[in-house]
Amino acid sequence: MKDGAYMKSLGLAARVFAASFALAVGTAEARPLNQVLGTWRMVSAQLDPDGRNVPAYGQKPNSLLVFTEDMHFIEVLTDASIPKFASNARGGGTDEENRAAMAGSIGFFGTYTVDENGVFSGNRVEGSTFPNWVGSERTRKDLKLDVSGDRIIENFQRPEGTKVVITWERVR
């Protein structure tokens, strides 16, 4: 190949690569940003039963919320101050130990949706340590997630009327 032809083919290859790159970037930018995507750690959780503002998961909440790219989520909420079981066996707790563990923690998972702007629009629970939640669906009317930078403020109301506000911080 002569030098001129070689340079022309190099120029053509560079233009094809640049066009392909621009198309790929343009396509990626065309998809809306999923504002909740990622892993989040609980900062605080407050209950407001009867107008009182009390910690929902004790003074040491230890919880994670994960939203995956394939539109699945998992949320595990725990109170780190719940005492360990004396028996050291998960199935061997006393009634009191089991009651404290159940009342002070919950884990659930399922799928979620975002709207055309990438804003959380709802979820469906597929599994939960509280069986009554399995199959439940929540919309923005029931569960609101407001994202501001690296923080999510989660607001929802329990069926009996207690309001819950949880603050999450993005894990780096």
Cα–Cα distance for residue pair 42/56, rounded to 1 Å? 11
Please report how many Cα atoms fall inside a 13 Å half-sphere around the Cα of residue 167, on the Cβ side: 8
CA dist 111 → 11, 154, 156, 157 (Å)? 47, 17, 18, 20
Look at residue 12 in the predicted model and tell me its pLDDT. 47
Q: Is the pTM above the cut of 0.85?
A: no
Overall average pLDDT of the 7-21 stretch: 47
For 139-168, what is each residue's pLDDT tens digit?
999 899 999 999 999 999 887 888 899 999
Which residues on adjacent β-strands are paired with residue 38? 67
Which pLDDT band, with edges at 50, 70 and 90, does 8 fall under?
A: low
Which residues on adjacent β-strands are paired with residue 168? 42, 152
Q: Which residue has better confidence, 172 or 26? A: 172
Q: Which residue has better confidence, 6 or 90? A: 90
Residue 67 has pLDDT above 90, yes or no: yes
Look at residue 30 in the predicted model and tell me its pLDDT. 55
For 76-104, what is each residue's pLDDT tens digit?
999 999 999 999 998 999 999 999 999 99
First to last CA, the chain: 52
For 32-65, what is each residue's pLDDT tens digit?
689 999 999 999 999 886 667 788 888 888 999 9
Cα–Cα distance for residue pair 64/14, rounded to 1 Å? 46
For 110-125, what is each residue's pLDDT tens digit?
999 999 999 999 999 9
Cα–Cα distance for residue pair 149/37, rounded to 1 Å? 12
Residue 13 has pLDDT above 60, yes or no: no
Look at residue 167 in the predicted model and tell me its pLDDT. 94
Cα–Cα distance for residue pair 101/95, rounded to 1 Å? 10
